Every structure is written in structure tokens, then in C-alpha cells.
Amino acid sequence: MRLLRDQHEQGLKERTTDRDRAMSPVAYSSQLKAIHRWGLGRPHDLSVIRQPVLVANGDSDRMVPSKNSADLARRLPNAELVIYPDAGHGGIFQFHEQFVETAVEFLERQ
């Protein structure tokens, strides 16, 4: 796992053009305020969504806690939940080979 993470980080370092700018403290604060306001609202009824959904997350995601992904999958009637161990917000990139295999299998069943 550490090897995949190191390879991912090395790939990010190699890319020198068309990179995303670092998030400013003001933008970060604004994002947190928006998330907080959104989180105070009533949950939407997701039971009306009949489309199959693949929900994937890392078990150490600080941006979207795994318990939120589990709750999302529970509230969607046709959801499949995948949690990658020792992975953060980029779990699908840290476990890209497994994610692609899972996603292809998921799509082939639809």
C-alpha cells in the first residue's frame, strides 16, 4: 500500500504543468462554512433513486468520513459500498487497480 501511495505522490511531483493551484486559507474556510451550512439541512430522501450506485471511500478520509459513505450507501436502495483500508480521500487513486476492477465489474452487472 505504501508503494502505491509513494508512486502516486511521485507522479504528482512529476507533473509540472496544468496543476491545480493550492487552496487558499480563505477558500478553505469558505468551503468548510458551506459544508457546515449544507450539513444543517434536512437529509434528502434518497430512496427514490433507483439507479445502481457504487460508493467508494478510504477508511481514513478526513474530507468525507467513511461513516458518511456508509450512511449514503444505506440510504440508496441499490448501492454497493467499497471502503479501502489505510486510504484517505484519494482512496480510488491509492487503490486504482482494485477500484478499476470493482468499477468494471459493477458496470458489467448493470
Q: Kindly state whether residue 41 falls inside one of the protein's structural domains.
A: no
Q: How many residues does the chain have?
A: 110
**Res 48: pLDDT:** 96
Domain that holds residue 80: 49-110
Q: Per 3-state DSSP, what percentage of the chain is helix, strand, and coil (rounded to 5)? A: 55, 10, 35
Q: Would you say residue 33 lies in a domain?
A: no
| CA 9, chain centre distance (Å) | 17
pTM: 0.69
pLDDT of residue 19: 63
* pLDDT of amino acid 5: 60
Q: C-alpha 104: how far from its chain's center? A: 17
Residue 90 falls inside a structural domain: yes
The answer to whether position 104 is within a domain reads yes
Domains of the chain: total: 1
Mean pLDDT, consecutive 10-residue stretches, the chain (110 aa), reads: 61 66 84 86 92 95 89 96 92 92 95
pLDDT of residue 46: 95
pLDDT at 102: 96
